[in-house]
Chains A and B, each alone.
Chain A
């Protein structure tokens, strides 16, 4: 398979990223002490296994509110975890090479503070920081913060763009050589810029207090999937956390994102596409399949979870619903469901979701609710023997369907060692995986250009606009560092 001559990317290199989850997603019986899920020393072992396997990054998801079910806290579906940046600073002290990518929202925090926190982790890790930008706006999450629902959902990308530009400007306001090399110098540091943001949603005036790292700014991840999100990614992102692992979808997604990046003057391959997926290994294919089914049953397909998923849509408790029978005959009692409530997101329209479910039940000839719900959760996983999985991943990689995966482990704290010990050697044998880290910064280990993407895009847009009309660059026009306006071309 790997010798097929007409692969578009015969020499591509595979990246592994560890999706650092939380207790609820693992097989609970395999973790002896429940406190282990939250103990940074235990997570450290997990991350060290990944570093031993030369993973490029660990990616930490963000939670700002726990899930609910029918308006009450949900006791099986939850998102408890450590604060990403404090935890990453700790991991920075105890690891050497692995990148540290934190998912951080642009709605319930301020650019000045987030810029300082991220820059601190980047500096203390010697240039291994990354920011996975998400733009979720959701008044229910806002219930934990001072101004719930302050941002109209339609404006979330405008806000995100202003926010990201603000953070970038705060980072760039520190020249890389600002700190003196002698105690006899005239000043201990100089040339730091005053940043002013005059956006519609993000306005501030600040001088940053944290110098740049060796990379020199955190790498940008993004997880957006809409057309607007993809275009935003093409201007900023250097790595993408995606959801497409069906081969044709993945190839199409990758082609689309690279074309968009090229439209901004980028080479296209300077954006690493990393779909989230689990890898379920077995000594035989049958054994791997059996493990995969076992894991499905444990979480989304146990009786309580199946019942919850139906109740989420119908909006009431359905204690008498026979999971081995049809869907409820009644209509959902709610007309609106808030995003973030429950497992099933109805997009605020439970009635049409229920109609869709009935139709699907009918069309697919399901005999039970159980079968219907199982169909929603076909595992997003690469399943097989280590050799089979490696062959498949190599095929995806060389076909430009992805640059690697964000690996979702299923048990804790042993779910990474298996990949490092069994899958990594197979990838190395196939010539797509390195034998050592390429460098000390994440930018180096991802094989990214030395100049961050957003700076290259800004310069390209300024070059196109010419000197007569620099204000045409809407991406940066509302941000300035002193008189150094960011869209300058020199």
Chain B
């Protein structure tokens, strides 16, 4: 049995739209910075390996009543980095119409502020409302959307490499701050855009952030970790094998979680939630409603097929305490999950080999 990486989605009140109804705090408290920080500190201390944050889709045809309140994920990540120590902080951002240069710099700063614990989920999000927020027509050609996403990932990775190791001399006697042999223009030319200059932010502590992708988006070589698209436990093994065959270096399964002390109560909770609304995101995921012991069984079972799971707690106030107090310790007892004390970065925690700097490779090839 391999060791399982355990990630968790941290949405403001929970991963379900109706979470606020079942929270133990009134809605406005969810926006208190100390409340937000406290949730992340808890996840860090409880031993989760990474937390993930979602960017709001570009605001468009949101209802003006009960909109999904979401802070900007890169800034929220910087804030949580200031409150945590050994937990990965993974942010998703849309790639369509994105400025690769801004993204590369913002994400590099998430890595710096977290001391090497940052990850990135580039997504392909396009709707008429998103297009309207750019005063543009919706792009419906899915092949074109896919090419743009791959291009953004490629460019962002190249920008991260522009400050090679040894780029800084800071020798006042010469005087030179940079070693021009190790500091490079990006010189990226793609189908949709070009990027000329070097990164503004110094190379991230991890060199390259860990890049996650959804199996359905098929973003290719630029992705390190793939979120599988299984919808039932019996599909996990085949989906994992398919993703690995397609080149995934690590695979993770999403699991929506509704917990209670007994399975009837959990089923009642799920029914109440479903009557009140939908899950925040409609991407494929397993859905689990039951006891902590049964969830432990499920996770231990799929640990043979995947490198990790990401848990999507329906209601943070209810589900996170049960996960932390009952599920994580039980997994540790069974040797399925251990607190990440040895890893110094998210790359290490996910047991990924570091990527080589493309400029160093290009020099070696000359």
Interface membership of B171, Cβ < 8 A: yes
- Which one of A37, A185, A205 has the highest number of Cβ atoms from chain B below 10 Å of its Cβ? A205
Query: For residue B77, which residues in chain A have a CB less than 8 angstroms away from its CB?
Result: 86, 89
Q: Are B26 and A180 in contact (CB under 8 A)?
A: yes
Q: Are B26 and A123 in contact (CB under 8 A)?
A: no
Q: Are A180 and B200 in contact (CB under 8 A)?
A: no
A65 to B76, CA, bound (A): 25
Neighbour of B69 across the interface among A39, A73, A209, CB < 8 A:
A209
Interface membership of B135, Cβ < 8 A: yes
Neighbour of B33 across the interface among A83, A125, A191, CB < 8 A:
A125
Query: For residue A180, which residues in chain B have a CB less than 8 angstroms away from its CB?
Result: 20, 26-28
Q: How many residues of B contact A (CB 8 A)?
A: 83
Interface membership of B268, Cβ < 8 A: no
Comparing A11-19, A140-148, A353-361, the segment that makes contact with chain B is A140-148
Interface membership of B108, Cβ < 8 A: yes
Whole-angstrom distance from the CB of A177 to the nearest CB of chain B?
9
Interface membership of B31, Cβ < 8 A: yes
Within 8 A of B (CB), among A162-205: 179-183, 185, 187-194, 203-205
Neighbour of B102 across the interface among A28, A41, A109, A183, CB < 8 A:
A109
Interface membership of A227, Cβ < 8 A: no
Q: Are A65 and B28 in contact (CB under 8 A)?
A: no
Tier of interface size on chain A: 35 or more
Query: For residue A203, which residues in chain B have a CB less than 8 angstroms away from its CB?
Result: 135
Within 8 A of A (CB), among B64-96: 64-72, 74-83
Neighbour of B65 across the interface among A86, A110, A192, A205, CB < 8 A:
A192
Whole-angstrom distance from the CB of A435 to the nearest CB of chain B?
26
Contact with B along A85-106 (1 / 0, CB 8 A): 1111111111000000000000
Q: Are B27 and A82 in contact (CB under 8 A)?
A: no
Minimal Cβ-Cβ distance residue in A for B97: A146
Query: For residue A211, which residues in chain B have a CB less than 8 angstroms away from its CB?
Result: 31, 69
Contact with B along A16-45 (1 / 0, CB 8 A): 000000011001110100110111110000
Within 8 A of B (CB), among A394-427: none
Q: Are B132 and A90 in contact (CB under 8 A)?
A: no
Q: Are B170 and A31 in contact (CB under 8 A)?
A: yes
Minimal Cβ-Cβ distance residue in A for B168: A34
Comparing A113-121, A277-285, A320-328, A385-393, the segment that makes contact with chain B is A113-121
Within 8 A of A (CB), among B195-222: 195-202
Query: For residue A120, which residues in chain B have a CB less than 8 angstroms away from its CB?
Result: 71-72, 75-76
Q: Are B33 and A123 in contact (CB under 8 A)?
A: yes
Interface membership of A112, Cβ < 8 A: yes
Whole-angstrom distance from the CB of A298 to the nearest CB of chain B?
6
A376 to B62, CA, bound (A): 54
Minimal Cβ-Cβ distance residue in B for A92: B79
Q: Are B200 and A204 in contact (CB under 8 A)?
A: no
Within 8 A of B (CB), among A221-270: none
A241 to B39, CA, bound (A): 38
Interface membership of B22, Cβ < 8 A: yes
Within 8 A of A (CB), among B25-42: 26-28, 30-31, 33, 36-37
Q: Are B177 and A183 in contact (CB under 8 A)?
A: no
Neighbour of A87 across the interface among B33, B66, B113, CB < 8 A:
B113
Q: Are A109 and B99 in contact (CB under 8 A)?
A: yes
A76 to B201, CA, bound (A): 16
Q: A123-B31, A206-B58 are in contact. Are A80 and B201 (CB under 8 A)?
A: yes
Interface membership of A79, Cβ < 8 A: yes
Interface membership of A482, Cβ < 8 A: yes
Query: For residue A81, which residues in chain B have a CB less than 8 angstroms away from its CB?
Result: 200-201
Whole-angstrom distance from the CB of A33 to the nearest CB of chain B?
10
Whole-angstrom distance from the CB of B105 to the nearest CB of chain A?
5
Interface membership of B110, Cβ < 8 A: yes
Interface membership of B355, Cβ < 8 A: no
Whole-angstrom distance from the CB of B182 to the nearest CB of chain A?
11
Q: Are A83 and B26 in contact (CB under 8 A)?
A: no
Query: For residue B237, which residues in chain A have a CB less than 8 angstroms away from its CB?
Result: none
Q: Are A204 and B132 in contact (CB under 8 A)?
A: yes
Q: A189-B27, A191-B64 are in contact. Are A145 and B201 (CB under 8 A)?
A: no
Q: Are B28 and A181 in contact (CB under 8 A)?
A: yes
Interface membership of B56, Cβ < 8 A: yes
Whole-angstrom distance from the CB of B347 to the nearest CB of chain A?
18
Query: For residue A24, which residues in chain B have a CB less than 8 angstroms away from its CB?
Result: 177
Q: Are A209 and B76 in contact (CB under 8 A)?
A: no
Q: Are A124 and B79 in contact (CB under 8 A)?
A: yes
Q: Are A209 and B170 in contact (CB under 8 A)?
A: no
Q: Are A76 and B74 in contact (CB under 8 A)?
A: no
Interface membership of B180, Cβ < 8 A: yes
User: Given known contacts A94-B82, A207-B63, A304-B176, what 10 new A-B pairs fall within 8 Å (CB)?
Assistant: A24-B177, A28-B170, A31-B170, A34-B170, A75-B169, A86-B109, A180-B28, A190-B64, A191-B65, A210-B70
29 contacts across the A-B interface (CB closer than 8 A) = A23-B170, A28-B175, A29-B172, A63-B200, A65-B197, A66-B197, A75-B177, A75-B183, A76-B177, A88-B75, A90-B79, A93-B79, A110-B133, A116-B72, A121-B75, A124-B75, A143-B196, A144-B195, A144-B196, A144-B197, A179-B30, A183-B21, A187-B66, A189-B69, A190-B65, A191-B65, A192-B65, A207-B64, A210-B72
Which 6 A-B pairs give the minimum distances between C-beta atoms?
A: A93-B82, A89-B78, A86-B109, A143-B196, A83-B109, A203-B135
- Give chain B's interface residues, CB within 8 Å of chain A: 20-23, 26-28, 30-31, 33, 36-37, 56, 58-72, 74-83, 97, 99, 101-102, 105-106, 108-110, 112-113, 115, 129, 132-135, 163, 168-172, 174-180, 183-186, 192-202
- Give chain A's interface residues, CB within 8 Å of chain B: 23-24, 27-29, 31, 34-35, 37-41, 63-66, 72-73, 75-76, 78-83, 85-94, 108-110, 112-113, 116-117, 119-121, 123-126, 143-146, 179-183, 185, 187-194, 203-211, 298, 302, 304-305, 482
